[in-house]
A and B are shown apart, each in its own frame.
Chain A
Amino acid sequence: MEGIGYKILGALLTTLLAFTVGMFYAGFRRKIIARIQNRVGPPVYQNFLDVLKLLSKKTSVNHGIMQHLAPLWLITMSVSTLMFIPVLKDGLFFTNLNFSGDLIFLLYIMVFGPLGMALGAGQTGNPNSAIGVSRGLTQMVGFEIPWIMAIVALMIQYKTTSVTGLLDIQSQNGTWMMFSSPLAFIAALLAMPGMFRYAPFDIVGAPAELASGPISEFGGKYLSTMMTSGSIFAFVKLTLYVDLFMGGASNLIELVIKTFALYMYPVLWGAVSPRFRTEQAVRYFWGWPLFFGFAALIYAAF
C-alpha cells in the first residue's frame, strides 16, 4: 500500500481521470450551449478530437523560450494542484499528496500557471496577448477577494486550514458546509464564474475583440497542451469546491454527479450572458460577492 509504485500509479490514474472528466465536461458544455441556441452541436467527445488534432499538427511556432515554456507552466500547475487536492475522501489511488499542502498553499499554486502563461503570452509580442493578460490579471484581483474571504471564513470557523481537515469536519458533523456556513458558500459561488472565465467573464480570451487574447500566438502542440491543462484545471476547481462546500465524495459516481451539478452553474449562466467590460467585472466582484464575503467573515468570527 505504501509502495512507491502505488503512488505513481495513483498519480497517473488521477491525472487521467481529471483529463477525461474535464474533457467530457467541456464537450457537454459545448453541447448544452448548442442546444440552448437551438443547434445540434458537436458530439460530446469533440474536445478529445480537437486535442488529438492539435497534437498531430506537424509544425509549431514559438517566439522564444518563455513562449515555449508557457503551456508547460500551465500544465505543471494543473497537475501538481491535482496532486494536493483530495479527489475522493478515502480512495486507494487518489490520495496522492493530500496531506502535504493546505488551502493557502493551494491558492498560491493556482496562480503559478496563469503567471507563467502570461509571461509566455508577453513574449509573443502580440498586442492582443498583452491586453488579454492585463485584463486577466485585473479580473483575478477581482474574483480572488470574495473567494479568499469565503475560504478564510471557513478556516476561522472550523479552526483548520487544510482541505482534508475541512472534509473530516463535514463528515463528523454530517452536514455540508454549504448548509453550515451558507454565507461563505454564496460568496464563493458568486466568485466562481470569474474563475472559470466563461461568459460574462470571458474578457481575457474574448475571441471577437482580442483574437483569443493570450493564446493568440499558440498553435499545434502548445495549444493542445493548454487545452489539456484547461480541462484538468476545470476538474481541479470543481473538486475543490465540492470538497470545501459539498462534503467531498466517497466514490467516483458521487464525485461526477456533484461536480457536474456545480459545473452547470457557470455554464448555464454563461450560455445566456453577453460579456462584461473589465472594470464592470471587477466592480461586480467587489459588490455583492464582497458583501457576502464580509458577512461570512463576521458570521464565522462571532
Chain B
Amino acid sequence: MYNDKESQKIVDIIQNFARKHSLFVLAYGTGCGAIEIPPTMTSRYDAERFGIRGAATPRQADVLLITGYLATKTLKRVIRVYEQMQDPKYVMGFGSCAINGGMYWDSYNTINMLDKYIPVDVYINGCMPRPEAVIAGFVKLQKLIQEGKADGWDRYKKNLDEYRANQKKIITNWVMPDFNR
C-alpha cells in the first residue's frame, strides 16, 4: 500500500496541493527589489490570499526570493541560506539582474547568471518587477508545483558537484560546512 504507485500518485497530488497553497517566503533582501516585497504583502496587493506569508528563518521557509542583483559577497550567504532550507524548496529570481546581470553585467562584484549557482524555478522579468508581476510569478510557481515541475531542489542535489564548482569559482575562501543530504 505504502509503496504502491497509484496511491503514491494520490498522495503526491494532495501534497502538491498543500505545497502550492502554502508558500512560506524567505524574503532575503539582496538588492533593490526587496522594497517590492512589502507592497506585495500588505493591503494593496495582499499576497496572503494565495497562502503566501513571510517566514522568519530558512528552516521554516519554502521559497527563497533573490530580489535583484547578487554581489559575490552576498552569494555566500545566499548559498548558506538555500542549503539550510528544507526540501522541497523553490527559488524565485527577481528582475533582469538575476537573469543575466542586467545593468551590472560587467560589474566586478556581481554575478551574472543566478542559475549557475543555485537552481532557479521561476524568473520574473522587469527592472524592478512590480507587485503585480511578483504575484504573477507566484502563480506561475504554484502551477509548476502542482504539475511537479518545480524541482530545483532535486536538480541541486543531483548536480551538486557542478553547482559547487561554479560556486567555488566565485567564492575563493571557501569555509562553508558540508551540504549534508
Task: Please give the residue numbers on chain A whose beta carbons come within 8 Å of chain B beta carbons, in ascending order.
Answer: 30, 34, 37-43, 46, 49-50, 52-54, 56-61, 207, 211-212, 215-220, 223
Could you list some 23 contacts between A and B, CB below 8 A? Answer: A30-B48, A34-B46, A34-B48, A39-B49, A41-B48, A42-B53, A43-B51, A49-B51, A50-B24, A53-B15, A53-B19, A53-B62, A54-B22, A56-B15, A57-B86, A58-B88, A59-B87, A61-B84, A212-B60, A216-B59, A218-B59, A219-B85, A223-B59
Q: How far is the CA of A53 from the CA of B53 in the complex (A)?
A: 13
Q: Is the CB of B48 within 8 A of A39?
A: yes
Contacts of A217 in B (CB 8 A): 57, 59
- Give the shortest distance, in Å, between B74 (CB) and chain A (any CB): 18
Q: How far is the CA of A30 from the CA of B50 in the complex (A)?
A: 13
Are A216 and B42 CB-contacts (below 8 A) given A52-B15, A57-B87, A58-B87? no
Q: Is the CB of B56 within 8 A of A211?
A: yes
| B79 CB-CB contact with A under 8 Å | no
Q: Is the CB of B56 within 8 A of A207?
A: yes
Residue ID in chain A nearest B41 by CB atoms: A39
Contacts of B51 in A (CB 8 A): 42-43, 46, 49-50
Contacts of A207 in B (CB 8 A): 54, 56
Q: How far is the CA of A53 from the CA of B17 in the complex (A)?
A: 8
Contacts of B87 in A (CB 8 A): 57-59
Q: Is the CB of A40 within 8 A of B46?
A: yes
| B169 CB-CB contact with A under 8 Å | no
Q: How far is the CA of A43 from the CA of B50 in the complex (A)?
A: 9
Contacts of A38 in B (CB 8 A): 43
Known: A207-B56, A218-B60. 13 other contacts (CB 8 A): A34-B48, A39-B49, A40-B49, A42-B50, A50-B22, A53-B18, A56-B18, A57-B88, A211-B57, A212-B56, A216-B57, A217-B57, A223-B59
Count how many pairs of residues, one from A and one from B, have CB atoms less than 8 Å apart in the complex: 86
Q: Is the CB of B60 within 8 A of A219?
A: yes
Q: How far is the CA of A54 from the CA of B60 in the complex (A)?
A: 8
- Give the shortest distance, in Å, between B92 (CB) and chain A (any CB): 17
Q: Is the CB of B42 within 8 A of A39?
A: yes
Q: How many residues on B have C-beta within 8 angstroms of the other chain's C-beta atoms?
A: 30
Q: Is the CB of B19 within 8 A of A61?
A: no
| B21 CB-CB contact with A under 8 Å | yes
Option from A39, A216, A220 in Cβ contact (under 8 Å) with B86: A220
Q: How far is the CA of A49 from the CA of B62 in the complex (A)?
A: 13
Contacts of A220 in B (CB 8 A): 86
- Give the shortest distance, in Å, between B40 (CB) and chain A (any CB): 12
Contacts of B21 in A (CB 8 A): 46, 49, 53
- Give the shortest distance, in Å, between A26 (CB) and chain B (any CB): 13
- Give the shortest distance, in Å, between B15 (CB) and chain A (any CB): 4
Q: How far is the CA of A60 from the CA of B181 in the complex (A)?
A: 11
| B14 CB-CB contact with A under 8 Å | yes
Q: How far is the CA of A225 from the CA of B21 in the complex (A)?
A: 19
- Give the shortest distance, in Å, between B126 (CB) and chain A (any CB): 24
Residue ID in chain B nearest A58 by CB atoms: B87
Contacts of A219 in B (CB 8 A): 59-61, 85-86
Contacts of B14 in A (CB 8 A): 52
B 23-50 contacts with A by CB, 8 A: 24, 42-43, 46, 48-50
- Give the shortest distance, in Å, between A103 (CB) and chain B (any CB): 35
Are A59 and B49 CB-contacts (below 8 A) given A37-B43, A49-B21? no
Q: Is the CB of A46 within 8 A of B43?
A: no
- Give the shortest distance, in Å, between B87 (CB) and chain A (any CB): 4
Q: How far is the CA of A57 from the CA of B23 in the complex (A)?
A: 12
Residue ID in chain A nearest B59 by CB atoms: A219
Option from B50, B56, B59 in Cβ contact (under 8 Å) with A61: B59
Residue ID in chain B nearest A50 by CB atoms: B22
Q: How far is the CA of A172 from the CA of B17 in the complex (A)?
A: 51
Q: Is the CB of A41 within 8 A of B56?
A: no
- Give the shortest distance, in Å, between A42 (CB) and chain B (any CB): 5
